Structure 1
Amino acid sequence: MKFLHLSPGDHLEAAGHVCILRDAFDFESPSDIADLITAENLDAALALHLYRGGRLLQGHHIPFGIIFGGTDLNEDANQGLKNEVMGKVLEEARFAVAFTQSMKEKAQAQWPHATGKIYVQSQGIAATPNPAFNWKEFLQRSEINQSADNLRVFLLICGLRQVKDPLFLVDAFSEWHEEEPGVYLVIVGPEVDPEFTREVKARVKRASGVRLVGEMSQGDLHAAMKNCFALVNSSLSEGMSAAILEAMDLEVPVLARNIPGNAAVVEHEVTGLLFSDPQEFIHLAKRLLHEPELERVLAARGKEYVRRHHAWQVERDTYQSLVRKLAGGAED
């Protein structure tokens, strides 16, 4: 089968399918998708995000599946028009995948007619750091004082948009850096929202101990993660944070904002640390800094959690099985 693939991963190609990967933001309307379907003679499609990607696939008469994003259920479902569109997309979709049972239940409550086609599959993780990555050059590019005593980098990975709330910790962290010059908060990610990006850049420029780095390749990002002291997530909402799971896989401690999506994968003081406000974050970060045994235990338990619950091979098997539904039971 030949797929239009609006989500990441190579599970379909591993099963022998030909995949064309596209970003939903590249298309202005469903007619753009129609042109692509015709030009490439596509047989099926798989989209990440029910609204963002799924609405583009309506009415094209090719079978498709959907992978829910956190934005779908935490934000878009609360907006009347988007909710209606998403419900209609689910009517056409052959299947939909939720990362957690709670996400599935939330979707079923919103769109009861889709109950029988929603499956649960946790995100599979296999972090692969780039061996050629140069940490010293990364620090220099980030204008970080490498001679500072007890240098510790806290890495926050996110697209620059409001729902990721990258500014949540900036003021508190800046005050902490004044006390302990060796601690830095580095924010890494693409500039998704131009207006909000300008606000982030302006705030970071005024904040001591906080740095902003542009988008990085996955291998370099994993290498930076492997070399940092801890991974930070300060989002207002999440479906399932790949960055958190990747950090766990790399045995890097995680400090995450206490929201449902994060609490679904981070158990406080077991596989990571959860905070509700900037002051609690600073308190927990200091604990992690001064309690080496806590750092060691969280890293080890996080690694074990990913091994048990987010196996990459299990995810591959699930998607290869679901894809058969797009073929109507025919041979792949």
Structure 2
Amino acid sequence: MKVILVTPNYHQQRGNTITVQRIAEKLSKLKIQTEVVSITEGHNIKTLPSGDMIHGFNAYHFYKLKQEVSTKIDDYVVTLTGTDLNHDLFDQNKRKNVVQCVLEAEFVHVFSEEAKQLLIREVPTVTNKVVVIPQDTDELDVDSGFPFLKEENTLLFVLPAGIRHVKNIPFAINGLKNIQSEFPFIRLLLVGPVLEETEWQQVKTLIDENQPWVRYIGEVQHKKMGTIYQQADVLLNTSYSEGQSTAIMEGMASGLPVLVSKNNGNLSLVTHGSTGFVYENIVDFYHFAKQLIQHHDVRTKLGRTAQEYIAKHHTNSNEAKSLSELYKHIIHNRK
């Protein structure tokens, strides 16, 4: 079997890219051949490679491509990855594409029950073909020669995210700035590629204003993120919305306490007070950040519970095997 995986901006290290790389790698272990097609702005794709199955990631971008290519795409699986479900579905200029994409799909794959319920509230007729398959986590390397080294006697917050508006990175800088004078030993490390130039200019200004306690090291090869997590004390996610953040899962798997914004994707992973802290506003953020700074036992307890949760629900969760069964079902019915 050969599966064509179609995803936006595969050349950039985004959540979708990491997800597709992981799925492709695990499908190969099941003797399933894959080929990735990147939907990249400014590069017109006329046809898709030949294969037995087409699997699209991000309903909005995939459906746009479906309308433009000459390749006939009648039966496919589509994965709703985050922005398409939480934003595009509610954007009057994009909603039609998302809805049509899920209506025409053989199966619609989402990462959590919360995502499924959101989708069927908006498009009830797809209820019977929405499948929840949790993401697996990747094994990451720890590189003793990695150039970033945490300063001694500091407490390190890490925010791994591509720099774009939806990630709300200025909130993290401004939020910690307001307590940094009380706790001058805290540090914030930003890790990720620049994906939106306008947003980068705003973030860069804040970084420059808050040196040396805020540092940006750009994009780090995904497999080497284990080195970052090993040095971190707390993992942050300040996004306005998420699908199901790979970075949060990896941080939790590394035993880190997490402090995350309240959105559906984050709530599918983090149970407040058990596997991490979830904030709704800046007052919450201050309160929970201070608890994590001041109480080592709180960090340890949350990190341990988070690690146990990921080990139980997102390690070897048969993600690729479940997807392969969907593919086989579609191919069998086609024949």
Q: TM-score range by the shorter chain?
A: 0.7 to 0.9
Q: Is structure 2 residue 195 aligned with structure 1 residue 192?
A: yes
> How many matched pairs?
316
Structure 1, residues 119-162: CA drift from partner, whole Å, max 9, x if none? 01122223x23232435x213xxxx7x25xx2111000111111
Q: CA deviation at 1:111?
A: 2.1
Q: How does 1:105-254 map to 2 (within 5 A)?
A: 105-126=117-138, 128-134=139-145, 137-139=147-149, 146-147=151-152, 150-208=153-211, 209-254=213-258
8 Å CA contact 2:59, 2:97 repeated in 1: no
Partner SS state of residue 252, structure 1? coil
CA distance in 2, matches of 1:14, 1:93: 26
8 Å CA contact 1:133, 1:220 repeated in 2: no
Q: CA deviation at 1:248?
A: 1.0
Percent identity over the alignment?
25
Partner SS state of residue 238, structure 1? coil
Residue identity in the other structure for 1:20: E
Structure 1, residues 29-81: CA drift from partner, whole Å, max 9, x if none? 4xx151xx2xx433322122111234313473243211112211211011123
Q: CA deviation at 1:173?
A: 1.5
8 Å CA contact 1:54, 1:66 repeated in 2: no
Q: 1:27 to 1:105 in 2, by over 3 A?
A: farther
CA distance in 1, matches of 2:33, 2:209: 48
1:25 aligned partner: 40
Q: How does 1:217-296 map to 2 (within 5 A)?
A: 217-296=221-300
Q: 1:98 aligns with which of 110, 114, 138?
A: 110
Greater mean deviation of Cα atoms: 303-312 or 150-159: 303-312
Structure 1, residues 235-262: CA drift from partner, whole Å, max 9, x if none? 0011211111111111111111122221
1:16 aligned partner: 31
1:3 aligned partner: 3
Q: 1:95 to 1:48 in 2, by over 3 A?
A: same
Q: Is structure 2 residue 329 aligned with structure 1 residue 319?
A: no
1:303 aligned partner: 307
Q: CA deviation at 1:328?
A: 3.2
Q: 1:275 to 1:195 in 2, by over 3 A?
A: same
1:61 aligned partner: 72
CA distance in 2, matches of 1:158, 1:200: 12
8 Å CA contact 1:4, 1:45 repeated in 2: yes
8 Å CA contact 1:129, 1:221 repeated in 2: yes
Structure 1, residues 304-330: CA drift from partner, whole Å, max 9, x if none? 111222233421221121121342358
Partner SS state of residue 303, structure 1? helix
Residue identity in the other structure for 2:155: R
Residue identity in the other structure for 1:227: Q
Residue identity in the other structure for 2:93: L
CA distance in 2, matches of 1:278, 1:23: 38
- TM-score (norm. length: structure 1): 0.87
CA distance in 1, matches of 2:28, 2:119: 28
Partner SS state of residue 235, structure 2? strand
CA distance in 2, matches of 1:204, 1:278: 19
Gaps of 5+ in 1: none
- TM-score (norm. length: structure 2): 0.87
Structure 1, residues 140-188: CA drift from partner, whole Å, max 9, x if none? xxxx7x25xx211100011111111011121231243333332111111
2:55 aligned partner: 46
Give the ranges of 4+ consecutive aligned residues of structure 1 lying more than 4 Å apart after TM superposition. Answer: none
Q: 1:84 to 1:280 in 2, by over 3 A?
A: same
CA RMSD in angstroms, aligned pairs only? 2.2
Q: CA deviation at 1:289?
A: 2.4
Partner SS state of residue 108, structure 2? strand
Q: CA deviation at 1:284?
A: 1.6
